[in-house]
Amino acid sequence: MRRTPVLTAVLGLAAGLLAGTPPALAAQVVEKAAPAAAVAADTYTWKNTRIDGGGFVPGIVFNRSEKNLAYARTDIGGAYRWQEASKSWTPLLDSVGWDRWGHTGVVSLASDSVAPGKVYAAVGTYTNSWDPGNGAVLRSADRGATWQKADLPFKLGGNMPGRGMGERLAVDPHKNSVLYLGAPSGKGLWRSTDSGASWSQVTNFPNVGNYVQDATDTSGYASDNQGIAWVTFDESTATGTDATRTIYVGVADKDNAVYRSTDAGATWSRLGGQPTGYLAHKGVLDAANGYLYLAYSDKGGPYDGGKGRLWRYATATGTWTDVSPVAEADTYYGFSGLTVDRQKPGTVMATAYSSWWPDTQIFRSTDSGGTWTKAWDYTSYPNRSNRYTMDVSSSPWLTWGANPSPPEQTPKLGWMTEALEIDPFNSARMMYGTGATVYGTENLGQWDSGGQFTIKPMVQGLEETAVNDLAAPPSGGAQLLSALGDIGGFRHTDLTKVPSMMFTSPNFTSTTSLDFAESAPGTVVRAGNLDSGPHVAFSTDNGANWFAGTDPSGVSGGGTVASASDGSRFVWSPEGAGVHYATGFGTSWSASSGIPAGATVESDRVDPKTFYGFKSGRFYASSDGGATFTASSATGLPSGDSVRFKALPGTKGDVWLAGGASDGAYGLWHSTDSGATFTKLAGVEQADTIGFGKAAAGASYQTLYTSARIGGVRGIFRSTDKGATWTRINDDAHQWGWTGAAITGDPRVYGRVYVSTNGRGVVYGDSSDAGGGGDGGGGTDPTPTGACAVTYKITNQWSGGFQADVQLANTGSAAWTGWSLGWSFTDGQSVTQAWNTEHTQSGAAVTAKNVNWNANVAAGSSVTFGFTARWSGTNTEPAAFKLGDRSCSVTRPTSVPKGAAGRG
């Protein structure tokens, strides 16, 4: 995804795809009240709510001496190690804490081929003021299980422009105590001679770089010098443990892009005869043939780039050869992804990383760049012929629920494809990163033999979404609703499974806020950002399906939105316009009075006409459905806008408020009179979020959860006694950087808490303390009686897979209290995932049964569910459907044509 940085406190998300960034945080010195915090009094198990991917993976690194040892880096979500047995990724930087949140941005990785247990990560998210801390190089001797840190005297930019170039960090393949690091911001080239424990600048390196994306950007983001881009050793120029003699360094300078040392870094010179006018994104050496390949672009990436070239440098003769697969005039993209096959010297691959439309392109040569073939090509425009098939059944949302016109397809082959690697031990395996996932294949050899290789997501365990809001309804099929940067958000009916699709109709680039009606949780509202179109959407079936509302004049972004407790009305505070209210589903909005533009809004969870707001130290309340607000006389609240507050379900006027800053009021406040007065909790030094969950056994008040500092310790805390005492429920190994956007407990499962992160997705924890009981049971599903009608529609289809929606209508005169619908596939189709139903399949026979929240279907009403499935050859639709032993009438609307595909 495209990630343009902005402060989360402002919640301004620019056009395109992006993720927010946390506000600048420094070490705090505050007055300590007597805390009541137990730091590890409960044992929690932490997992991710599965989305699989969701963000940009700019780097993949294979170890050159140990099979199946690979690492991936993300721009804001840490680093990961590949687990071959489970074909999944393990996060390595969850121990990064609140005060050093910037170290979740990884600008480079290096895996030691001499001692494969050693791995290094260069960390830091921004080089400008948005990240208050300097960068560091982390080193591990146990494959990233534990780390030591060497602080640097400058910042690094894991989420800065140019972050897909690299790798900027490299280990000498012979003398592995020597490492090099390319720095941004004019800081030059750095070297360590003690395995990363200390670093010093290579003062005689002649060029610190000069390329900036946009010199007019006063924020320091796009105007930063992108510096030293990559370091590559020629392993053929040393033996044993001698230092490698020849080292190549790429610099962000269009006229002087490549430098070389032939004396182990003692002296450096510009490589003669090199091409000019482009930036060298990558430099990859095929030592067996003596070729250095370079991928060039006219821009630094990762999403810009309009022209590019591929060049080959002969290390023995100094000869430069343009080996670009297409003429310069035919490029509208830059090259970046670059890899060679270590098992088959002469095989090289590259990507057109910045080609969004109609798709990215991957090129392959088996003769050292003499000739090339493409991953796809036109037959007769706009029709395409692909050398690959794509199976996204494990992450079906990668289709984006789209159905574009050719030559676009869904899912896309990718975009922002700057990471591309062939497994050095397995020529059949390739992985590449995109803006949304890691794709890969394990039958790459089909490319050359004339067959089709299969591309699948290879991303399980790698969770890289930035979370803006969370909601856990008390009933209905949704366990969790999430508002996410870049990919909108999801409705999870099972935390352990990837949802079939993100929120659609409309697809927000980022969802900034969501809410449900407390006493009618089938009603859900969300607000978000969209380049063109509405910024608010509604659901009447617990978030399963959506329809767009309309915007009042001037709206430019999502802002915050709140639903009345009974779903009868809504209050919305969008960007670009003042606070507004509406009865019904947002077809007509009226301006609220008495509350400033940009206020954060929430609803009372009992009284449908009571809403609340906060802006710049003042709390506001409305008792007439949001038409008018009155400022509270409460004082002592945080003066800034880094505040989040919520009203307690079940009790009118019970409000909790968290937030603040180190230079003023900061902590947790409680009101029992709709915000007329607030009491600050003395034991909470800092708090940034507040959420509620199921009460503990014997407790009369719901469980509180917060991301806070209590007793001098930063962490995730729980209170079962209305905030009188607190227990830290995470530990130092599970901190996830910045967790200040949202938190909520689960109203149905005691002890379960959902935590937002800024790049590690939605983390949820379950307590070892079973107090408070569980989720409640189910029951049997009686067979309904009476007539029925089925509408079956294929809504999306791609090579090897499809998505279908089924509407089951009760056309009889009696209500159903449970249902079970059966049908058979005739062409071997196999259901892979379903939503709004529990499904089973035995051979060709499929049975779809109700879930708890949609069991009751009144006469004349209907229920809708959907699924994804695999298919091959043909995809004949089911001929008949039965409800128990009763046949249903069948309607067949126009489905997606066989072989059609959508935008991803």
Provide the annotated active-site residues.
75, 486
Alpha-carbon span 237 to 284, nearest angstrom: 15
Residue given tokens 């991957």 in the structure block: 362
Q: Cα dihedral angle (168, 251, 150, 145), rounded to 10 degrees? A: -10
Distances (CA, A) of 677 to 359, 392, 451, 673, 674: 56, 53, 71, 7, 8
Between CA 101 and CA 674 the distance in angstroms is 35
> Which contacts (CB < 8 Å, 24+ apart) does range 687-690 have?
687/658, 687/659, 687/660, 688/642, 688/644, 688/658, 688/659, 688/739, 688/740, 689/644, 689/658, 689/739, 689/740, 689/741, 689/742, 689/743, 689/756, 690/644, 690/645, 690/646, 690/656, 690/657, 690/658, 690/743
First to last CA, the chain: 11
Cβ neighbour number for residue 450 with a 10 Å cutoff: 7
3-class DSSP state of 448: helix
Query: Which helix (H) or strand (E) element contains residue 882?
Result: strand 882-883
Distance from C-alpha of 441 to C-alpha of 431, rounded to nearest angstrom: 7
Residues 514 and 744: their CA atoms lie apart, in Å, by: 13
Distance from C-alpha of 301 to C-alpha of 305, rounded to nearest angstrom: 6
Do residues 458 and 471 make contact, with C-beta atoms less than 8 angstroms apart?
no
748 near 715, Cβ under 8 Å?
no
Q: Is the dihedral of CA 23, 28, 30, 35 positive or negative?
A: positive
**Which helix H or strand E contains 446, and what residues bound it?**
helix 446-449
- b vs e for 103-138, b when ≥16 Cβ sit within 10 Å of the residue's Cβ? bbbbbbbbbbbeeeebbbbbbbbbbbebbbbbbbbb
Contacts of 700 (CB under 8 A, 6+ apart): none
Cα separation values, 487 from 3, 740, 804, Å: 11, 20, 21
